[in-house]
């Protein structure tokens, strides 16, 4: 198949209707400029969606029409048969002076007349107007493949009126909300693109297969990374530098900070791996993990990890006001200290080498003589670390690239069965006691993968049950 045969679509519509938002979400690119102000997009810019280095879709973001009525009256000035209308549009483009008089129209009609399809965006909250009709009529004159998208914006008050109108000008009409769309909504829209013209059917199928393969790989990768992150948090400890209570207090503060920083790092890693680079995301990011989020029982309640729901907690409920840290000499703590002290470099390496931490690092010199704070032994801790990580992973996964607000870590209870809780706590215990084996690692990764898959499928099913397909 010719490399250039992938679909190219020019995104057209009135200012502020969510054109750029649609481009951003469909191309998974958060560098597309979006803002509540009209006229944000000032020139026609192409954005490509690539998988494994191959361009599979190009969307051309445009400012839309500025002088649609004048253009239409120029086109209609001469009587032409329907079959000659595309030539009339070409004549419009070739007319001297038009690039200066109609810069926006020329910018958007040129790529269309060079073979791009049309993705026309309307706001479902506003009723169709004569100006819209002029735009749609011009687009019909181009004779190019055409798809209309109703962006529900705030309400879908005029959806039916739009459906009746759009149906007269476009081959397909779809409802698509770029701020909430996840994979099923994107797939539905892409399917419609694939049906616009026979030559796009195969490239769109390839694109959809590519996305499915990419997401499967992403699921495997993130499950391994999340399992590794969880294990590292559970093994984290810091050396106590000064003897006595003050030394312990300081070490405890350092440990808390290190846990928070690690959580933030994991979150940031996912964020940039999945293309959410936008600056406002960083600036507004509410990850204030310098407070005692992880250790605070209030937070556990927030996370739905109520004590009565947890196993083993009653035995240590007295300690549930905060920390149950293990400041000990030698043994596992010591080993864990060595690991989280950066000797390992990356847990990915450990996962890949499939070596037991105990065997690999047991020989470390001098470590035996250092006193360490940690790892955290509180029985809620493994559950809280896992619940938080699974939640922000899911939130990031489902986040469309047009959504630029801060990621707010929502309090969502994990519906873990007793059995799941026991398994997690069992793994935590093994890790902390140095009885961790590759088979446990495999089981943990599979468990994480199943959890993520389930929650993503739930979100997709929910999206499919809403009325985004006409």
Ligand X SMILES: Nc1nc2c(ncn2[C@@H]2O[C@H](COP(=O)(O)OP(=O)(O)OP(=O)(O)O)[C@@H](O)[C@H]2O)c(=O)[nH]1
Residues of the shown chain interacting with ligand X in the complex, contacts defined by CB under 6 A: 13, 15-21, 34-36, 38-41, 63-64, 151-154, 177-179
35 binds, among ligand X, Mg ion, none (CB under 5 to 8 A by kind): ligand X
Shortest distance, CB of residue 175 to ligand X, whole angstroms?
10
Nearest to ligand X of 15, 328 (CB atom): 15
Query: How many residues can be counted in the chain?
Result: 470
Give CA–CA dist 349/346, Å, rounded. Answer: 5
Using an 8 Å Cβ cutoff, are 146 and 171 in contact? yes
Question: Does residue 20 interact with Mg ion by CB under 5 A?
Answer: yes
Q: What is the number of other CB atoms lying within 10 angstroms of the CB of residue 365?
A: 6
- For the sheet containing 45-51, what is the strand order? 45-51, 54-61, 8-12, 117-123, 146-151, 172-175
Computed from CA positions of residues 100, 102, 104, 108, in that sequence, does the dihedral angle turn out positive or negative? negative
Shortest distance, CB of residue 368 to ligand X, whole angstroms?
58
| Span from 18-26, 221-229, 309-317, 354-362 in contact with Mg ion (CB under 5 A) | 18-26
Tokens of 329: 């000499």
Nearest to Mg ion of 37, 100 (CB atom): 37
Shortest distance, CB of residue 434 to ligand X, whole angstroms?
51
179 binds, among ligand X, Mg ion, none (CB under 5 to 8 A by kind): ligand X
Question: Alpha helix locations (H) across 320-437?
Answer: 331-338, 347-353, 357-361, 381-398, 418-432
Nearest to ligand X of 21, 421 (CB atom): 21
- Stated as kind and residue range, the H or E segment containing 121 is strand 117-123
Shortest distance, CB of residue 115 to Mg ion, whole angstroms?
22
Tokens of 105: 């129209």
Nearest to ligand X of 36, 198 (CB atom): 36
Question: Does residue 29 interact with Mg ion by CB under 5 A?
Answer: no
Question: Does residue 25 interact with Mg ion by CB under 5 A?
Answer: no
Give CA–CA dist 259/411, Å, rounded. Answer: 19
Nearest to ligand X of 152, 184 (CB atom): 152
Q: How many residues sit in the footprint of Mg ion (CB under 5 A)? A: 4
124 binds, among ligand X, Mg ion, none (CB under 5 to 8 A by kind): none
Residue listed under structure tokens 């996370």: 303
Give CA–CA dist 395/274, Å, rounded. Answer: 12
Shortest distance, CB of residue 44 to Mg ion, whole angstroms?
10
Contacts of 352 (CB under 8 A, 6+ apart): none
203 binds, among Mg ion, ligand X, none (CB under 5 to 8 A by kind): none
| Span from 37-45, 230-238, 333-341, 427-435 in contact with Mg ion (CB under 5 A) | 37-45
Nearest to Mg ion of 41, 144 (CB atom): 41
Shortest distance, CB of residue 396 to ligand X, whole angstroms?
19
| Span from 41-49, 66-74, 164-172, 420-428 in contact with Mg ion (CB under 5 A) | 41-49
Q: What is the number of other CB atoms lying within 10 angstroms of the CB of residue 204?
A: 21
| Span from 19-27, 212-220, 316-324, 363-371 in contact with Mg ion (CB under 5 A) | 19-27
Nearest to ligand X of 177, 340 (CB atom): 177
Nearest to ligand X of 19, 256 (CB atom): 19
Question: Does residue 41 interact with Mg ion by CB under 5 A?
Answer: yes
Which phi-psi region, left, alpha or beta, contains residue 95 (left: φ > 0; alpha: ψ -120 to 50)?
A: beta
Question: Does residue 24 interact with Mg ion by CB under 5 A?
Answer: no
SS3 127: coil
Report the candidate in 19, 4, 108, 21 with the shortest Cα–Cα distance to residue 56: 4
Give CA–CA dist 422/427, Å, rounded. Answer: 9
Contacts of 383 (CB under 8 A, 6+ apart): 305, 310, 414, 416, 421, 424, 425
Report the candidate in 154, 152, 132 with the shortest Cα–Cα distance to residue 65: 132
Shortest distance, CB of residue 18 to ligand X, whole angstroms?
3
Contacts of 369 (CB under 8 A, 6+ apart): none
39 binds, among ligand X, Mg ion, none (CB under 5 to 8 A by kind): ligand X
Nearest to ligand X of 11, 323 (CB atom): 11
Nearest to ligand X of 20, 223 (CB atom): 20
Q: Which residues bind Mg ion (CB under 5 A)?
A: 19-20, 40-41
């Amino acid at each position: 198949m010719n490399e250039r045969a992938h679909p190219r679509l020019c995104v057209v519509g009135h200012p502020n209707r969510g054109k750029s938002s649609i481009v951003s979400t469909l191309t998974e690119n958060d560098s597309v400029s979006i803002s509540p102000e009209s006229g944000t997009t000032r020139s026609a810019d192409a954005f490509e969606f690539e998988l494994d280095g191959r361009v599979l879709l190009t969307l051309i973001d445009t400012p839309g029409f500025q002088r649609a009525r004048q253009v239409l009256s120029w086109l209609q000035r001469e009587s032409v048969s329907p079959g000659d209308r595309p030539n009339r549009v070409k004549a419009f483009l070739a007319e001297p002076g038009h690039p200066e008089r109609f810069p926006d129209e020329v910018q958007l009609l040129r790529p269309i007349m060079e073979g791009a399809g049309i993705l026309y965006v309307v706001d479902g909250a506003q009723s169709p107007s004569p100006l819209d009709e002029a735009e749609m009529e011009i687009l019909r004159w181009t004779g190019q493949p055409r798809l209309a998208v109703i962006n529900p914006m705030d309400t879908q008050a005029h959806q039916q009126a739009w459906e009746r109108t759009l149906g007269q000008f476009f081959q397909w009409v779809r409802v698509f909300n770029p701020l909430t769309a996840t994979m099923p909504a994107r797939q539905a829209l892409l399917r419609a693109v694939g049906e616009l013209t026979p030559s796009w059917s195969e490239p769109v199928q390839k694109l959809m297969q590519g996305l499915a393969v990419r997401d499967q790989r992403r699921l495997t990768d993130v499950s391994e990374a999340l399992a590794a992150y969880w294990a590292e948090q559970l093994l984290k400890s810091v050396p106590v530098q000064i003897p006595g209570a003050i030394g312990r207090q300081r070490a405890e503060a350092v440990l808390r900070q290190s846990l928070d920083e690690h959580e933030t790092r994991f979150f940031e890693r996912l964020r940039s791996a999945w293309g959410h680079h936008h600056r406002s995301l960083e600036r507004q990011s509410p990850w204030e993990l310098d407070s005692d989020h992880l250790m605070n029982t209030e937070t556990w309640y927030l996370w739905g990890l109520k004590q009565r729901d947890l196993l083993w907690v009653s035995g240590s409920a007295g300690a549930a006001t905060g920390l149950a840290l293990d400041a000990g000499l030698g043994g596992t703590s010591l080993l864990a200290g060595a690991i989280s002290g950066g000797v390992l470099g990356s847990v990915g390496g450990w996962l890949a080498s499939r070596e037991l931490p105990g065997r690999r690092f047991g020989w470390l010199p001098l470590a035996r003589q250092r006193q360490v704070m940690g790892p955290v032994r509180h029985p809620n801790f493994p559950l809280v670390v896992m619940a938080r990580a699974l939640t922000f992973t899911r939130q990031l996964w489902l986040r469309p690239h047009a959504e630029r607000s801060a990621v707010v870590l929502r309090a969502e209870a994990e519906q873990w069965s007793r059995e799941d809780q026991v398994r997690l706590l069992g793994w935590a215990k093994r890790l902390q006691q140095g009885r961790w084996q590759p088979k446990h690692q495999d089981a943990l990764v599979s468990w994480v993968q199943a959890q993520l898959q389930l929650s993503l499928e739930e979100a997709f099913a929910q999206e499919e049950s809403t009325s985004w397909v006409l």
